[in-house]
Amino acid sequence: MSLNSSQFKAYLAGFLDGDGSIYVRAKPNSSYRYGYQIAPYVAFFQSATCESFLPMVGQIGYGKTRLRKDGIYEFTISKQDDIVDFLAKVSPYLLLKQEQAKLMLEILSLKKGISSEKDFKQLLNRIDTFRELNYSKKRKRRV
């Protein structure tokens, strides 16, 4: 099965809806022009006891897998072009995270067009809006 298969895309969308996350962080980093690094992610989580997880995510063709100390596999897509490609393919099948996927694509598009501090502040506002869609222990507004 490949990422071009409708069945596999629907499966991944269901997996993302249930055991995945779509999020973006604005990490304080003084080495960046406006003081923040924008870090987008699509992540899946699965118990290490599930032997079918690694071959399944290997079929996606990008992303990284790590085994956490708590016995959970975490598969993360963090390259922007890969996130755009992945979400373009699976978002039509999403049920619960459709809004997060649309907003992530908007944020990545806005990020490419930043030419001023005003543009960057608008991006941070969209990121804060995004955070309100997901559970977060730290709900801070930056702008």
Q: Active-site positions?
A: 18-19
Give the C-alpha separation, 66 to 128, whole Å.
28
C-alpha closest to that of 53 among 69, 71, 75: 75
The residues pairing with 83 across neighbouring beta strands, listed in sequence order, are none
Gyration radius of the chain's alpha carbons: 16
Tokens matching residue 141: 């507004």
